[in-house]
Structure 1
Amino acid sequence: MPDGLVQIGEVAERLGLSLRTIRHYEEVGLVVPERTPGGFRLYSETDIGRLALIKRMKPLGFSLEEMRDLLEITDRLGAGDDDPTLISRLQMFERAVAERADKLREQLAMAREFGEQLRRQRMRAEPFA
């Protein structure tokens, strides 16, 4: 196996993703691994980093198109592209992540409050059980 490249099973284990999920991201063009002459996928650290970024975006509700856009931005910035619009686009993602994180914190607070309400209800009912 070429230096620095790993097979899909190792990627799945390292990132906690299923093989099916990794293949799906390849099918939609978010990651393009190298292939052995026998057709086995080989992933570089760059590919693994892309998949890790996608994994972080997914639970925040980002679409495949938004993922594709952010990956393009990070690829171009990583390649030294100094287009000022890239920074403003990246800042839009930063704001979107902050907004989504705030919403998740609100949902978590409501879930905790609901759990506490149920616990109090159970405590009141237990003496009669």
Structure 2
Amino acid sequence: MNSEHMQIGEVAARTELSLRTIRHYEEAGLVVPSARSQGGFRLYGEADVARLMVVRRMKPLGFTLDEMRALLDATERLDSGEELPSGERGELLERIRGFERAAQQRVADLRTQLARAEEFAGTLAERLTRIPTS
């Protein structure tokens, strides 16, 4: 194994994802190990870790595996250094902007949910202080 590659355990520690989750994302085609060791072990590079981090950040916002794949594919195409026709480049950029807008909306929705949950917890705590203890 060369120093550019990591085994799945190190990737799991760096990404705070379980081995099972990383394997699931591989099966779903979201991240494919860059290499295999002579013994057949999965080997991941920095680009693979970066992809997993994108997935890890999208998951709590409720994005589907297909949406994750679409964003990863769009960013990968733009980052490839390949000359893209302006129409395709614009389409990819708009797709990423759409994901950014969706993420912002989902974050706002989560903030609303959190505020309601905190209000509920506070109401319960207040109610408990009014109940006489024996």
TM category (shorter chain) comes to over 0.9
Alpha-carbon distance between aligned partners in 2 of 1:23 and 1:60, rounded to the nearest angstrom: 21
Cα distance in structure 1, aligned partners of 2:108 and 2:81: 32
How many residues are aligned here?
Answer: 128
Residue of structure 2 in register with 1:64 after alignment: 65
TM-score where L is the length of structure 1: 0.95
- Please tell me whether residue 45 in structure 1 is matched to residue 51 in structure 2: no
Quote how far apart the aligned CAs of 1:128 are: 3.6
| Aligned-pair identity (%) | 55
User: Within 2, Cα distance between the matches of 1:128 and 1:17?
Assistant: 45
| 1:90 is the counterpart of 2:96 | yes
Deviation larger for 74-83 or 63-72: 74-83
Give CA-to-partner distance per residue, 1:4-63, whole Å, 9 cap, x none.
100000000111110000000011111110111211000000000000000000010000
Counterpart position of 2:36: 35
What is the alpha-carbon distance in structure 2 between the residues aligned to residue 128 and residue 58 of structure 1?
A: 44
Q: Structure 1 residue 80: deviation in Å?
A: 2.8
- Give the TM-score, by structure 2 length: 0.92
What stretches of structure 1 move > 3 A for 4+ residues in a row? none
CA displacement 1:65-96 (0-9 Å, x = unmatched): 00000000110111135411111111000100
d(CA) in 1 for partners of 2:55 and 2:43? 18
Q: Partners of 1:3 and 1:112 in 2: how far apart?
A: 46
Q: Secondary structure at the match of 2:91?
A: helix
- Looking at structure 2, the residues matched to 55 and 63 of structure 1 have their Cα atoms a distance apart, in angstroms, of 12
CA distance in 1, matches of 2:49, 2:62: 20
In the alignment, which of 106, 113, 119 is matched to residue 100 of structure 1? Answer: 106
Root-mean-square deviation (CA), in Å? 1.0
